Amino acid sequence: MDIGDMCVLIASPHPQVIAHIQDRYHDFLSEEAPDFEIEMAFAEDADPAEYLDVPHEMLSDFIERSRAVEKRLEEPGAPSSSAVYWWGRQPSPFGESEADALAGSKPKVAHLGHKILFQRSDFAGCMDIQAGQGRNIFGKNMLPFAVESFLRICYSFLAVEHGGLLLHSAGVLRGDNGYIFPGQSGTGKSTIASLVTKHERVLSDEMVVVRIRDGQQLVYSTPFYGTNESAEQNIRADLKAAFLPIKDDEVYLKETRPAQALSKLLASVLFFGQEVALNQHLMDISAGVVAQVPFYEIHFRRDDSFWACIAERERMEVVK
């Protein structure tokens, strides 16, 4: 899998895992040499702590919450635990809110030397960045979003390791120009992506990778979308500007001061690292992006009139 020019080899003894990866991420598959290798297994295959080579007590969240899922499956009315895995083709025995609560949206992260351990109720993973290898073990009766969540976490660490950021941001390609619209949920990322005209293409309505390589600022599409599934294509473009969405009755651009831009950018980064040096590296990368990419507030209504402001900025850049 190639996301942001970072190739990951995924291996598993389970055909359904490989089939799911090939189906769900087909536009991002690659035959390039991998930068990182990941093995995926299930809890019934091996002892989770032994498989990940970590102390048993460090997997308490994963083990205890996995048991809560199994206990729920044993209640009257729940399907048998032999109902295979939920790859999106079979109904979950839980309602959506209950499944989210059992999984938990935020992983618990710990650092063991050069290893990074993260866990939720539905999976536990360990990445050895230095060795270029990782392992992940899924809980019994896992949900398909566990694969997605695990990959997002992996790529958030790999992006920082490769001098980049995995951002909560819409990304749009307009001609040869790449633009990002970073922000947390509710700021308007999906709305921006839904208002593209014939002049724009959506890179993602949810997450993009930003990297500075050889002095060039780049934005990459990702398969991590929100509601705009049609955006899925493996594309990279020169990053020309960042726009911070602000819903308003008026439509205009306002240049953002570097300190404010850095604060907003950091708030949009997907990253769970706790190690000081790693967080300092992330800060340095973010500061580099702000120093080299112009940031603006973009005030917009729920129509496509804001593109005129961006078009005017493009004309001014050509004049320069």
Dist. CA 169–CA 167, nearest whole Å = 5
Residue 223 CB coordination number (10 Å): 22
**258 with 291: CB under 8 angstroms?**
yes
pLDDT band at 80 (very low <50, low <70, confident <90, very high): very low
Domain range for 256: 164-319
pLDDT band at 113 (very low <50, low <70, confident <90, very high): confident
Same-domain pairing of 311 and 290: yes
Same-domain pairing of 278 and 199: yes
User: Domain boundary at 161, 185, 220, which?
Assistant: 161
pLDDT tens figures, 145-174: 788 889 999 999 999 999 999 999 999 999
Q: What's the structural domain count of the chain?
A: 2
Same-domain pairing of 132 and 169: no
Query: pTM here?
Result: 0.88
Dist. CA 209–CA 204, nearest whole Å = 10
Same-domain pairing of 125 and 184: no
Same-domain pairing of 253 and 170: yes
pLDDT, average across residues 202-225: 93
Dist. CA 144–CA 215, nearest whole Å = 38
Fill in the DSSP letter of residue 45: T
Same-domain pairing of 172 and 157: no
pLDDT tens figures, 9-47: 999 998 888 988 999 999 999 999 999 999 999 888 888
Same-domain pairing of 117 and 189: no
Q: What are phi and psi of 292, to 5 degrees?
A: -110, -15
Same-domain pairing of 146 and 241: no
Look-up of token digits 């398969």? 223
Q: Which residue has the higher pLDDT, 295 or 20?
A: 295
> Which CATH number do you get for residue 273?
3.40.50
Which residues are bridge partners to 133 per DSSP?
A: 37, 128
User: Domain boundary at 143, 161, 179, which?
Assistant: 161
User: Domain boundary at 114, 145, 161, which?
Assistant: 161
